[in-house]
Amino acid sequence: MRRFLVAGNWKMNTTKESGAQLAQALASEVPSENPAVEVLVCPPFPYLTTIGDIVTGSGVGYGAQNCYHEAPGAFTGETATEMLTDIGCRSVILGHSERRHVLKETDADINLKVKKALEAGLQVILCVGELQSERESDQTEAVLNTQMTGGLAGVDGAAFGQIVIAYEPVWAIGTGLTASPEQAEAAHLYLRNWLKDQYSAEIADATRILYGGSVKPDNAKELLSQENVDGALVGGASLKAELFIPIIQAAVELSAE
């Protein structure tokens, strides 16, 4: 059975102090021994070590929101995967819609980062998802196909132990609009079948596909109950312990069923 992953994407939010308080609250909630679900926080780069030190020894892991595809060197403003592993960071979010649409990252850019992060031994959370206009014009599956094909080009099946896919419909991110459980399930099923066709039934079955887009305590359980939803990538609601913890608990309860 696939183990739920509940990941918090803090985006460009928190201060050192507020992030530390949030991390402390989460670390005291998630046990270090055999936690039922995998929990991850992805703070902004300047706070990664502070947050990492706080959650180390708990059941909460920490990851980055981006990385660069080159080895350390003359790349002003970028962060190398070697630096992430150096500070004990184990995961990286790649291809987030804000990086695609605000920072104009292409599938080719994302693919370079995916390959570099995998080489570095990081867990990659590859985000894919359609715009509202693309959904309205029935392009959802075509967009997912393009983003999966582009993002995973040249990635060998052997790397899938390190890969998590996050389906994040862009129209549901930070908008309060959530995909209905049926819409989420349909997209997740498409992605799982994509993995089966492009890789293998075993890889499709073992790979976790997270849902992201306005996940909150009151919709988490219904979304996570869908057969092909294996966790959540949470933005806004991951910034408050009193919202993020109930989402983790929803996943814990469902894992016990």
The 3-state DSSP class for residue 62 equals: strand
Question: Shortest Cβ contact with ligand PGA: which residue?
Answer: 235
Q: What is the binding site for ligand PGA (CB under 6 A)?
A: 9, 168, 173-174, 212-215, 233-237
Catalytic, 69? Answer no
Residue 194 annotated as lining a ligand binding site: no
Pair of tokens at residue 202: 């075993």
Nearest of 162, 171, 49, 42 to residue 114 by alpha carbon = 162
59 assigned binding-site residue: no
Whichever of 84 and 234 has its CB closer to ligand PGA, that residue is: 234
DSSP states along 81-101 = HHHHHHTT--EEEES-HHHHH
168 is an active site residue: yes
Residue 105 contacts residue 99 (beta carbons within 8 Å):
yes
Annotated binding-site residue? 113: no
Q: Are 224 and 250 in contact (CB under 8 A)?
A: yes
* Least distance CB 210 / ligand PGA (angstroms): 9
In angstroms, what is the minimal distance from the CB of 176 to ligand PGA? 8
**Cβ–Cβ < 8 Å for 43, 51:** yes
Is 171 part of any known ligand binding site? no
CA–CA gap between residue 114 and residue 165 (Å, rounded): 12
**CB nearer to ligand PGA: pick between 32 and 175:** 175
The residue annotated as part of the active site, out of 130, 168, 185, 188, is: 168
Instruction: Tell me whether residue 80 or residue 168 sits nearer to ligand PGA (CB atom).
Output: 168
Q: How near is the Cβ of 83 to ligand PGA at its closest, in Å? A: 23
Q: How far is CA 165 from CA 23, 29, 55, 101, 161, in A?
A: 24, 26, 24, 18, 12
Residue 174 CB, nearest approach to ligand PGA (Å): 4
Give binding residues as ranges.
Answer: 9-11, 174, 214, 235-236
Active site residues: 96, 168
